[in-house]
Amino acid sequence: MSKSIFYHAGCPVCVSAEHDIIDLVGSDNVDIVNIGEDRNRIADAEAAGVQSVPALVTPNGNTLHLNFGASIEDVKG
């Protein structure tokens, strides 16, 4: 894959980081996934090593946790 994936859950920290990431890498280079709404993607996020949101999974599969909005466990509820 060549795009990064930005996982978030709609929290204020998430939205702020989303704007920063789009500014930095360009909206064409990142897929935005709200795992609070698109709950069948939670498993994808966990498989990629996402422990909290917001997080960016890079094209080479590394996960960068950006600040802290909510844990995956909190999103799962």
The residue within the footprint of a second copy, chosen from 1, 15, 31, 62 (CB under 8 A), is 62
Give the torsion through C-alpha atoms of 73, 48, 39, 70, to 10 deg: 40
Site of tokens 């980081």: 17
The verdict on 20 binding a second copy (CB under 8 A) reads: yes
φ, ψ dihedrals at 7, nearest 5°: -95, 130
The verdict on 2 binding a second copy (CB under 8 A) reads: no
The verdict on 59 binding a second copy (CB under 8 A) reads: yes
| Cβ proximity to a second copy, 22 vs 41, nearer residue | 22
d(CA 77, CA 68): 17
| Cβ proximity to a second copy, 33 vs 56, nearer residue | 56
